[in-house]
Amino acid sequence: MVIIILGSKSDLNLAKEIIKNLQFFKIEYRLHIASAHKNPEYVLGLLKKYEAEGKEKIYICVAGRSNALGGVVDAQILSPVINCPPYSEKFAGLDILSSLRMPSGICSMTVLEPEQAVLAAAKILALKDEEIRNRIKLYRKEYKDMMVRENGKLSESSII
């Protein structure tokens, strides 16, 4: 299972991309809006609830601007945490730096694209789930086949 936590409603577009990719891999997910800055108690309550379930899970945290969410989540749990911050033209994209540097002992990883964030989560879950592992193989095969088709179209065209 993947728990997606958004820092705010403005992160919903990126969450939709994450969900689309989770659905491809048929990975169960839950979606929440919970700001580590504005309502840390709510974030901690969510984590307590999910950690009490005992299921294997991965958290994907989506927060722009000053991303405390991934670090706060990682500091509270033992499950993997993936930051997937939305890109912003403001400050020339430098908001991402708050997702990259974490304090000592905190290791939320950062993956910039929603598709790759889900692939990272899928690969972790696939360590113990053969169905997800097989879907990753299918995903990779589809990309390989697409490249061969694109190459064939290029070879057949007159632009060379």
Question: Which stretch of 44-53, 86-95, 121-130 has the lowest confidence by average pLDDT?
Answer: 86-95
Residue with tokens 């936590």: 5
Q: Check if CATH label 3.40.50.1970 holds for domain 2-128.
A: yes
Mean local confidence (pLDDT), 108-122: 95
Alpha carbons 77 and 10: distance in angstroms, whole number:
26
pLDDT band at 64 (very low <50, low <70, confident <90, very high): confident
Q: Please, what is the average pLDDT of the chain?
A: 90
| Percent above pLDDT 90 for the chain | 70
Annotated binding site for substrate: 8, 11, 38
**Domain residue spans of the chain:** 2-128
- Number of C-alpha atoms within 13 angstroms, CB side, residue 43? 25
Checking if the pLDDT of 99 tops 70, the result is: no
Is residue 74 within 8 A of residue 106, CB to CB? The reply is: yes
Residue 92 has pLDDT above 70, yes or no: no
pLDDT digits (tens, 9 = 90+) for 19-60: 999 999 999 999 999 998 889 999 999 999 999 998 999 999
pLDDT at 80 over 60: yes
Binding-site members are: 8, 11, 38
CB atoms within 10 A of CB 27: 21
Distance between CA atoms of residues 59 and 77, nearest Å? 10
What is the per-residue pLDDT for 2? Answer: 98
Q: CA-to-CA distance for 139 and 152, rounded, in angstroms? A: 20
Residue 156's pLDDT is what?
A: 61
Per-residue DSSP letter, 94: G
pTM value is 0.89
Q: Is the pLDDT of residue 147 over 80?
A: yes
